[in-house]
Structure 1
Amino acid sequence: MTIQQPARQTTDLAMFGGDRAVPRELGIRPWPMVTGQDEQAVHRVLRSGRFTSASSGEQEIAGLEREWARFVGTEHCVAVSNGTAALSVALGAAGVEPGDEVIVPALSFIGSATAPLHLMAVPVFVDIDPVTFNLDPAALEAAITSRTKAIVVVHLHGLPADMDRITEIAARHGITVVEDAAQAHGARYRGRSVGSIGAVNTFSLNVSKNLATCGEGGLITTDDADVATRALMLRQFGELIPARGERSYVAHLLGWNCKPNAIQAAFTRSRLTQLPAEMAVREENVGRLLGRLAAYPGFLVPQVPQDRTHAWHILRIRVEPAAFGLADELAGPLRSVLQRALRAEGVPAVPYQLQPLPAQRVFTGRRGFGGYPWALPGVVDRPYRPGDFPATLRVLDDSFTIQKAHLHPDSGPLLDRYADAFDKVWLNREALAAIAATTDYTPHWERASEIADTEWAGAFDAR
């Protein structure tokens, strides 16, 4: 993108030599926090000599499973090695098989769609609601076929999806609902915790998440004892591992090796005791930031329906071209210019995903298992068509996100300075709008395709 420096009204902007709104010394606090309590939990495991779920008498993994089930309000919890493994294991435990269709929102992390692919199931993508950024129930109903076995409901950025409408549609068609709550620890929908509403549900404990571990981890929750048992078997070679006593080494079904790590489980157990207090402070800090941004009609802040709460894992802000005196088709260039201006001020404004999931090369190029599962008999070919996902494309074009910086409880002063940066940008809106109106611009998804072409062409050249 070519930036032309305007002749007026830019002296205070850092992108043209002014002082930053966010001092460099006021940096992002490390996440996850590591307290003395967390360190003691890790040392406890080291002293025990029991490090995985295959260790007879191991207590940390079972303790985390018990405590997370209690926190969420489910009968069972199964810990696994990471969040994507949690989703694959959950779908497998729910009975998803090769050739089945699994509905997935078009905007999410890649793991939401590759998890069914690992089971040789076909991901079927649907558009999102442009206000909540979650799966659009109307698009969901239109995508259901006789082969649909499950719906992966992603609570994107930490806001619960419209679970009543989704579960009603699923029940009518006899389809399993799987909540992907990787970004939504502690969020609630109509008084219920996410991860307790679907038939089987998953969380990630990746180091970036609101409830994190010191690396990777995943959790599966369910009220169905049979599903929980199958998940336990799938996580470790199809075996039934006794809590105590000798291991039989008998594989009852085809499983994976998705064992969790006891050190990481102990770390998360410690973090869990601190989660409610951190959630309350984060709600206050983020609320203050978004309250200031909401005063400017050019920035559309996340909306939270009254019947749910937001975990605030990621903050997504959309731009409104009309408030800057621009035509609607200039939303993308405007977002790009504002994003650059904010970054110069010290706000880490970045995209979240560059293209819709169905545009990813693994799906458009049918790069699964030698063309499978798409080559299985009866599977309907659904080529990617951008026109099928207008809301997803628009949101990708006109929004940016703030990630991780707001997670630490002590981030309040930093977020206040972020709000100051938005103040500066808004005061200079005429100059920035003039730049947006004359700049060259390529949408995210086109740039992502160009990057993919280059990476794939050179992937093996250097070997």
Structure 2
Amino acid sequence: MSKLAAFGGTAVVPREMRRVEWPRVEDDDRKAVMDALDGALVSDTDGVNPVAVLENSWADHFGFGHCVAVSNGTAALSLALAALGVGPGDEVIVPALSFIATGLAPVHQMAVPVFADIDPVTFNIDPDDIERRITDKTAAIIPVHLHGAPADMDRITAIAARHGIPVIEDAAQAPGATHRGRPVGGIGTAGAFSLQVSKNIPTCGEGGLLVTGDAELAAAMRRGRQFGEVIESGRDRDYISYGLGWNHKMNGLQAAFTTAQLARFDEYERARQHNVTTFLARLAKLPGLQVPTALPDTTHVWHILRFRFDPAAFGLDGVRPEALRSTLRRLLRAEGVPMSQYQLMPLPDQKVFVDRLGFGSGYPWSVTGAPATVAGEGYPVTRAVIADSLTIQKRHLNPGAGELLDLYADAFEKVWANSDMVATLAKAASS
């Protein structure tokens, strides 16, 4: 049995292999950005510009009816809600486990986020809990395709249809994921993507995209991204705001970079699917370890890999999940596997929601009379997942990461082979 690196043994992953480039910046990306410098740098320019090219390329590639490029994924969610008329007095159901932007987007519209618990396997919003939380104030549902795993869109859209509620898909982490053969983002009323530099299809910084099959909704989103104005090719700009708008435009350099990345996405995705599924197949054999998975007839795009650890299945009855998690984090990181926590608390425990730090005087919560959120209460599945899980991020997105993932699997197997030491450390941490 090999000695653990945490106690003086040789780490499985050599130091020179631990730094992995993501995104991969190729000559095509550099050329696209340089070419864009000689053209239109903003989206309100008449004629062909890099932003319009990205919008058309994204819609064509994934099969969306309309695509609207914006400044970031958070702006995309807020604009979708605004275009649907969500505002003061409304509630929007969101998952209790997600990035903060999902919960903040309704507040930006003076609407109240209502949190629902998640599924323990996919980590996506639980349709049963959605149904329990619908009221006459519910104006939208935002399912998140967390970590690249499609949410249960069949059930979610069926619930929404029964109640006449629009569905905005937060697909920030899931470009290319599919549910029953349909691309996520294009199943509900609208979909929002992030192009932030860490995403599966990135830009050179920040960016976002909105998609929809509804032409009128797309037009409302376009007005919203630029001061409420109507910007159309061949139409002189009149500088009239036809409704409330913001300055949420994307610039041409960001658009050109993403278009170049999009051209390589299918190649990258094939490599990622092979690398990640091979890696997970090895880890699935280890006792007490739940590997990421997806619903049947869906495509998971593995943006983040979340692993759950079960003390009882590990032979550690009575040990707190947090103790086993912290022990494994220490041992695996020493071997060169960058295990980390992602989301340190459920969204409803975030200070902005607990203390109602919105627009002053308790707005928007005071409009609906929503009961106060109490930190540490409710959402048992979300709390359990946060307590017993760790993630791997970014490194596996590089299509050349197969060899590295093999070493990660070797490291997991080495730690599991030292189960007596794991047990000793976890029990000490749990006491």
TM-score by length of 2: 0.97
Contact between 2:319 and 2:430, CA under 8 Å: does it hold in 1? no
2:186 is the alignment partner of 1:196: yes
Identical positions, percent = 54
Out of 170, 178, 201, which is 2:160 matched to?
Answer: 170
2:178 partner letter: R
SS in 1 for 2:29: helix
For these two proteins, the number of residue pairs brought into alignment is: 431
Out of 222, 233, 236, which is 1:246 matched to?
Answer: 236
- Residue in 2 aligned with 1:112? 102
- Residue in 2 aligned with 1:13? 4
- Residue in 2 aligned with 1:449? none
Correspondences of 1:209-288 after superposition (within 5 Å): 209-288=199-278
Give the Cα separation in 2 of the matches to 1:327 and 1:289. 28
Residue 55 of structure 1 deviates from its aligned partner by 2.5
Contact between 1:300 and 1:318, CA under 8 Å: does it hold in 2? yes
Correspondences of 1:380-391 after superposition (within 5 Å): 380-384=370-374, 386-391=376-381
Out of 81, 86, 110, which is 1:91 matched to?
Answer: 81
Correspondences of 1:431-442 after superposition (within 5 Å): 431-439=421-429
1:280 partner letter: R
Residue 379 of structure 1 deviates from its aligned partner by 2.7
Give the Cα separation in 2 of the matches to 1:309 and 1:17. 41
2:418 is the alignment partner of 1:428: yes
Residue 385 of structure 1 deviates from its aligned partner by 5.4
- Residue in 2 aligned with 1:448? none
Residue 376 of structure 1 deviates from its aligned partner by 3.7
Runs of 5+ in structure 1 lacking a partner? 1-8, 442-463
Correspondences of 1:44-443 after superposition (within 5 Å): 44-48=35-39, 50-327=40-317, 330-384=320-374, 386-439=376-429
1:44 partner letter: D
Give the Cα separation in 2 of the matches to 1:387 and 1:38. 47
Residue 51 of structure 1 deviates from its aligned partner by 0.6
Contact between 1:299 and 1:320, CA under 8 Å: does it hold in 2? yes
- Residue in 2 aligned with 1:460? none
Runs of 4+ in 1 over 6 A off after TM superposition: none
- Residue in 1 aligned with 2:19? 28
SS in 2 for 1:216: coil
User: What RMSD over aligned residues (CA atoms) do the two structures have, in Å?
Assistant: 1.4
CA deviations over 1:391-415 (Å, ceiling 9, x no partner): 0000000000000010001111111
SS in 2 for 1:95: coil
CA distance 1:104–1:328, change in 2 (3 Å): farther
Contact between 2:354 and 2:372, CA under 8 Å: does it hold in 1? no
Out of 12, 29, 46, which is 1:38 matched to?
Answer: 29
Give the Cα separation in 2 of the matches to 1:275 and 1:83. 19
Give the Cα separation in 1 of the matches to 2:366 and 2:376. 25
1:13 partner letter: L
1:342 partner letter: L
Contact between 1:374 and 1:381, CA under 8 Å: does it hold in 2? no
- Residue in 2 aligned with 1:456? none
Give the Cα separation in 2 of the matches to 1:224 and 1:83. 19
Give the Cα separation in 1 of the matches to 2:403 and 2:56. 36
Contact between 2:103 and 2:113, CA under 8 Å: does it hold in 1? yes
Give the Cα separation in 1 of the matches to 2:355 and 2:6. 40
CA deviations over 1:194-218 (Å, ceiling 9, x no partner): 0110101100000000000001100
1:43 partner letter: M
Give the Cα separation in 2 of the matches to 1:377 and 1:290. 47
Contact between 1:205 and 1:212, CA under 8 Å: does it hold in 2? yes
Give the Cα separation in 2 of the matches to 1:69 and 1:379. 40
Residue 388 of structure 1 deviates from its aligned partner by 1.7
Residue 440 of structure 1 deviates from its aligned partner by 5.3
CA deviations over 1:10-37 (Å, ceiling 9, x no partner): x611111111110001123211111111
Contact between 1:94 and 1:200, CA under 8 Å: does it hold in 2? no
Q: Which moved more, 1:111-120 or 1:51-60?
A: 51-60
Residue 54 of structure 1 deviates from its aligned partner by 2.0
Q: Which moved more, 1:28-37 or 1:104-113?
A: 28-37
TM-score by length of 1: 0.91
SS in 1 for 2:16: coil
Residue 245 of structure 1 deviates from its aligned partner by 4.8
Residue 306 of structure 1 deviates from its aligned partner by 2.3
Give the Cα separation in 2 of the matches to 1:253 and 1:212. 31
Give the Cα separation in 1 of the matches to 2:134 and 2:44. 40
Contact between 1:160 and 1:310, CA under 8 Å: does it hold in 2? yes
Give the Cα separation in 1 of the matches to 2:50 and 2:171. 22
CA deviations over 1:325-355 (Å, ceiling 9, x no partner): 1125522100110011000111000011100
Q: Which moved more, 1:132-141 or 1:325-334?
A: 325-334
Runs of 5+ in structure 2 lacking a partner? none
Residue 131 of structure 1 deviates from its aligned partner by 0.7
